[in-house]
A and B are shown apart, each in its own frame.
Chain A
Amino acid sequence: MTYLAKPKLHHPSLTCNALGFTRRDYEGKISTLCAGCGHDSISAAIIQACWELDIEPHRVAKLSGIGCSSKTPDYFLGQSHGFNTVHGRMPSALTGANLANRELIYLGVSGDGDSASIGIGQFVHAIRRGVNMVYIVENNGVYGLTKGQFSATADQGSTSKRGVVNADSPLDLVGMALQLGATYVARSFSGDKQQLVPLIQGALAHQGAAFIDVISPCVAFNNHAGSTKSYDYVREHNDAVNRLDVIEPQAEIAVEYPAGSTVDVRQHDGSILRLHKLDAEHDPRDRIAAMNYMQRHHAQGEVVTGLIYVDPEPHDLHQHLNTVLVPFNVLGATDLCPGVATLEKINAALR
């Protein structure tokens, strides 16, 4: 039995957020992943991000596919409903869930095998549709649960733990998300909580398709020399383009930064993404420039991280479909059934 309950003891001195919740209220069950797994750091970052943003845990719906990453929604936000779907198909289930109730926050957690290999089609189409969601890929370039096979994001020439060299070229999910029209695109590293937490917050505040590729080393099968998704490799090649503060509308903090080094992006919900630019060249509001920047730095062997692109005025699937603002799941027969008189007219027209 791999189910481990977590004791619900709170230390009385734990800090509360505006809702009166401590960070413990955003935790889930005890992780069953390997000690040191990058995915657990991402779960911790999600917990931190939601707690700091004062999100009611039960207003988040967590969806995932199959694999190590897809197990993690059980390990955070224990008061949220979770749906562990089938391999590679989280995006469609999330799309349907989102259609049923537009008021919840949809958090999709997937892996590189789940999204880039078996699920690449669903990844592509959910992003194309502009589903309002936070889509996190916990990217380790490897199949962990089946013990170390390459996934489609493994870099060409990288080696597996057993010494096999990957000959296939990798899929770049960030590049694809940009091309497909995602309105919030970021990459981060599970070992860089300072960067990751605000990127998740920015995505949670974003009212469109937000995609975050998080390089998350697999300590069991992909953390050796020759891997391009190991802790050491990513630390050495990380090229952070910016640092982000997410400022909630009601709590703007006035911090002075040297002129020219920050960019404020006000999102549709009123939150401000304050970017501390580390690379003067990169403007995250320019999709084409972002694509170009990514390609150039990738060719130089650098792993670009940070907020790569954001459209502060995104459209989402509900806008495209012009749906009512009330969640579908509260509509009843009085709203939905056209009634007997209408049916009689329909009958008459069919005679």
Chain B
Amino acid sequence: MTLEATTTPASPIRAINDFVVKFSNVNGSGSASANELFAKAILRMGVPVSPRNIFPSNIQGLPTWYEVRVNEHGWLGRRGGVDLMVQMNPQTWDADLREIEPGGYLYYDSTKPLSRSKFRDDVVVVGMPLTEICNRAYSDPRQRQLFKNIAYLGGLSVLLGIDPAVIQKLFAEQYRGKEKLLDANVKALELGRGHALANFEPLGLQVRRADNVGDRIFVDGNSAAALGCVYGGATVCAWYPITPSSSLAEAFEKYCQKHRVDPVSGRNMYAVVQAEDEIASIGMVCGAGWNGARAFTATSGPGISLMNEFIGLAYFAEIPVTLIDVQRGGPSTGMPTRTQQSDILACAHASHGDTKHVLLLPEDPHECFEFAALALDLADRLQTPIFVMSDLDIGMNQRLCAPFRWDEARRYDRGKVMTAADLDAGKDFGRYKDVDADGIPFRTYPGTHADKGAYFTRGTSRDPYARYSERGPDYVYNMERLLRKFDTAKTLVPPPVERIGGKRSRYGAIYYGSTSPAMAEAVEALEAAGIALDLLRVRAFPFPDSVKAFVQSHEQVFVVEQNRDAQLRSLLVNEFDLDPARLPPVLHFDGTPITARFIARAIGERIRTAGPTPAKERVT
């Protein structure tokens, strides 16, 4: 039995270039590369896709999913719901089947017969005996497993109308110079295609060639941020392995091996140190920053918790530090392989005492690249820790985004550094003196001058000339200067992005980071339903004053976040002294990426039921 059209539902879903395919696999079975090929093949046909890994904290054996949204219009947020389930893991059969939309499709390995009761009446079932096919074709157990993935890809290409030539071209690029591997993969693809062509009709879901990808690139945020650090001139990376940030440090090293080796000496113009813990990694970054090198670390929430004491030192002693926080579900170990935006407050106020830190909030890999490079400049300019707040959704998933750009004339902003020549010219050097009324003092690198410009860096209070002092006025001068510096930061960070409709709405929404694609889609859905919404995407903390103006020009501004406690909203209320009732939170924090459906429903219901008066409950 190959085609099990157990029941033909009244209306199987019919869609061209607009559907969701979810792959259900066993972790460690080699499915990842086949699934990625699937996504890339559709992209090469000019149709935007957005894949997401939904994976366990596990190396082998546990269930893992790969969800691909195919959307010609270019909506890259997670849609929710599944139109085609590629079911390759019996462990999760029941739950996976429940997720399929009515009229959707199930594609599975039918080698082992299943009773009728295991299926749904309203789902089209396509069973392909993949294990049987591969066991017949291969004798090596590893090959049987790996090529099963390619064989189901072959089957899918027939069912969905994906051009096999595109997949073959991808193989050729991937296995350039490895002809044996290339041939074997082509053969496995044909194995799947042959069976499918002989036994199945194409599904109601079809991929058609389009031209909606343009010059966009397909890359994960961690690689992008790593490349931003390379372009931004980071020479020291100290890190400790933690999901979901590990691939960032590894990508940095990989790019450096390619682009940062001195061709003459063969020596490295970078140092990557895997530290013994996050405390040591931030300590190394502080030491390197103090000594004039550009240094960064990449981590996630638990690492931020550990780094707090050093972050406070860097804030108070004014040391350039770049931290990339790829956020995951907290608190504690939380959901280490799920996404959240729940470190906002922990980073904005990291460490004991009065602190305020600069946060950059990238929406996609393109901005991960931009903001990582910018963070290195800002850290030097402001002599303080700069946080790039990525998250698992951006960091570990490939996302279609604008290509990376760089201005050849761009030079690094090393900030206010006094040189030996400046000191010899008799310039007054007060390490903690506000000479330009911007709160930013001058610094010197260690070893600059034989008898001028040396100072003792410490986390204890001191006077403007870096001399130890516990006098109240000295302490207050310094703390107020740090606030002035934070005000200066407002003028240097990326401004918010506003999207105001033709006519200004009574309602607005503020959002940031990985919520971006879902928000863009949600606002169109709301518009279609007759609800106009103005948008403001915050890209940094401290917030420029235009954020306040946006709030004040709307009756209600929904603050859409992926955390429980409305963390960015707290910052907005505090920084601008706003009435919290004006800022109803819309909160999604179950660890899955927020969807347009969720946002549109939450905001739509709130506006319809509550009208202009503030709604008090949180929507989750």
Contact of A100 among B236, B281, B454 (CB under 8 A): B236
**Scoring A residues 230 to 273 as 1 if CB is less than 8 Å from chain B, else 0, what string do you get?**
00000000000000000000000000000000000000000000
In this assembly, does A117 line the interface, its C-beta being within 8 Å of a C-beta of chain B? Answer: no
CB distance from B234 to the nearest CB of A (A): 8
Tell whether, in the assembled complex, residue B276 and residue A125 are in contact, meaning their CB atoms are under 8 Å apart: yes
CA distance A96 to B276 in the complex (A): 13
- Residue of B whose beta carbon sits closest to that of A77: B454
| CB of B468 closer than 8 Å to a CB of A | yes
**In the complex, what residue of chain B is closest to A351 when comparing beta carbons?**
B217
Shortest distance from the beta carbon of B452 to any chain A beta carbon, whole Å: 8
B217 lies within 8 A of A347 (CB):
yes
A82-B456 in contact (CB<8A)? yes
Give the size of the chain B interface in residues (CB under 8 angstroms).
Answer: 76
Task: Given the known inter-chain contacts A86-B313, A324-B265, please indicate yes or no for A63 contacting B403, CB distance below 8 A.
Answer: no
B405 proximity list for chain A (CB < 8 A): 343
A332 touches B411 (CB 8 A): yes
Residue of A nearest to B284 (CB): A96
Q: A1-B469, A82-B456, A86-B310 are in contact. Are A96 and B279 (CB under 8 A)?
A: no
Q: Report the separation of the CA atoms of residues A328 and B236 in the bound assembly, to the nearest whole angstrom.
A: 8
List, in ascending order, chain A residues with CB within 8 A of B467's CB. Answer: 3, 5
State which of B219, B271, B309, B456 has its C-beta within 8 Å of the C-beta of A321.
B271
Contacts of A122 in B (CB 8 A): 276, 279-280, 283
Number of A-B contacts (CB under 8 A): 239
Chain A residue nearest to B220 in the complex (CB): A350
The 8 Å CB contact of B457, one of A2, A82, A91, A103, is A82
Task: Assess the B460–A321 pair: CB atoms within 8 A.
Answer: no
Name the prevailing secondary structure of the B interface residues: loop
B49 CB → nearest A CB, Å: 13
> Hey, what's the 0/1 contact readout for A79-98 against B, CB within 8 Å counting as 1?
11111111101011111111
Nearest residue in A to B474 (C-beta to C-beta)? A1
Residue B230 at the chain A interface, CB threshold 8 Å: yes
How far is it, in angstroms, between the C-alpha of A129 and the C-alpha of B468 when the chains are bound?
33
Which residues does chain A contribute within 8 Å of B285, judged by CB atoms? 96
B446 touches A81 (CB 8 A): yes
Over the window 88-129 of chain A, the binary record of Cβ atoms lying under 8 Å from chain B Cβ atoms (1 yes, 0 no) is: 010111111111110110000000000000000110110001
CB pair B287–A94 under 8 Å, yes or no, is yes
Contact yes or no, B457 A83, CB < 8 A: yes
With A121-B277, A350-B218: A324-B288 Cβ-Cβ less than 8 Å: no
Nearest chain A residue, comparing its CB with the CB of B412? A333
Q: Does A331 contact B (CB under 8 A)?
A: yes
List the B residue with the shortest CB-CB distance to A25: B451
CA distance A256 to B213 in the complex (A): 83
Known: A79-B454, A81-B446, A331-B235. A100 touches B276 (CB 8 A): no
Q: Are B290 and A101 in contact (CB under 8 A)?
A: no
A15 at the interface (CB under 8 A from B): no
Say yes or no for A35: interface residue by CB 8 A criterion.
no
A contact residues vs B (CB 8 Å cutoff) = 1-3, 5, 56-59, 61, 63, 73-74, 78-87, 89, 91-101, 103-104, 121-122, 124-125, 129, 317, 321-325, 327-329, 331-333, 335-340, 342-343, 346-347, 350-351
Question: Which 6 pairs between the two chains have the least Cβ-Cβ distance?
Answer: A92-B283, A96-B287, A329-B292, A100-B293, A96-B284, A81-B446
Instruction: Name 24 interchain pairs, CB-CB below 8 A, sorted by A.
Output: A3-B469, A5-B467, A61-B446, A85-B286, A86-B459, A89-B279, A89-B280, A92-B238, A92-B283, A95-B238, A97-B287, A98-B287, A101-B292, A321-B268, A324-B262, A327-B293, A329-B292, A336-B412, A338-B259, A340-B406, A340-B408, A343-B231, A350-B218, A351-B213
